[in-house]
């Protein structure tokens, strides 16, 4: 092995150690903010967020803030990812629909909890890139589709849980229909530049729907039509 090759290996190892430390510190911060679910915290520790942001922003991957990923879209703030995941009460074997794949980070976190994830993305290039990224990183339980999330993923329904990572003006009826009795959905509802609230939607055994406002948030809008 040449000195250059050895130096490159040592540099890569040091970078990985730094990123692991930063990730663990971030998850500790998220836990201190109130996310307590063990499966959620373990998933956040396991997923390398730097793999899901543009290379130029990799050194900012473990800050607790959203980052741009192109097309006017963002990768969500890690605390919000943790909070929304916890609200779904993740467990192995769950079938989850995600609306708004983005770079694939939220889908990876859900997969780490043992869930099977169907995720839809309205931007074709983001869907393709996320699918390739998730496969490269070994997330075999995630399937990505280029589609309008307002219509969900009818063929795969019903879902134990649904998570929406863009703000809708209303809760799409198709998503309510595709939620299994006993299931939970977390969705930001509100206008861009206006008031948005993260809403927990629950469907009881009889199919009755109840909603609860959880906290104010700010998300990019949930778009209609193929992009």
Task: Give me the residues paired with residue 190 across strands.
Answer: 196
Q: Virtual CA dihedral for 67, 70, 73, 74, nearest 10 degrees?
A: -20
Query: Phi and psi (nearest 5°) for 160?
Result: -65, -30
Selecting among 13, 76, 103, 210, the annotated active-site residue is 76
Strands 95-99 and 159-164, how do they pair? Answer: parallel
Question: Quick check: is 76 catalytic?
Answer: yes
Question: What span, in angstroms and rounded, lies between the C-alpha atoms of 45 and 142?
Answer: 19
Task: Give me the residues paired with residue 120 across strands.
Answer: 99, 145
Taking the mean position of all CA atoms in its chain, how far away is CA 133? Answer: 14
Continuous H helices in the chain: 3-32, 38-46, 78-87, 105-112, 124-136, 173-178
Residues classed as catalytic: 76
């Amino acid at each position: 092995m040449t000195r250059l090759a050895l130096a490159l290996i040592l540099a890569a190892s040091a970078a990985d150690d730094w990123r692991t430390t930063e990730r663990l510190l971030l998850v500790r911060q998220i836990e201190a903010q109130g996310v307590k679910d063990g499966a959620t915290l373990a998933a956040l520790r396991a997923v390398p967020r730097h793999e899901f942001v543009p290379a130029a922003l990799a050194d900012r991957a473990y800050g607790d803030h959203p980052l741009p990923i192109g097309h006017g879209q963002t990768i969500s703030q890690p605390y919000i990812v943790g909070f929304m995941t916890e609200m779904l009460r993740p467990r192995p074997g769950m079938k989850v629909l995600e609306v708004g794949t983005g770079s694939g980070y939220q889908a990876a976190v859900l997969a780490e909890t043992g869930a099977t994830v169907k995720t839809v993305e309205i931007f074709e290039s983001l869907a393709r890139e996320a699918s390739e990224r998730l496969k490269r990183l070994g997330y075999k339980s995630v399937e990505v589709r280029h589609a309008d999330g307002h219509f969900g993923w009818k063929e795969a329904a019903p879902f134990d849980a649904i998570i929406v990572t863009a703000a809708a003006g209303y809760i799409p009826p198709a998503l309510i229909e595709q939620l299994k009795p006993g299931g939970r959905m977390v969705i930001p509802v509100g206008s861009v530049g206006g008031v948005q609230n993260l809403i927990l939607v629950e469907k009881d055994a009889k199919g009755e729907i109840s909603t609860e406002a959880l906290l104010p948030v700010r998300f990019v809008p949930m778009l209609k039509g193929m992009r």
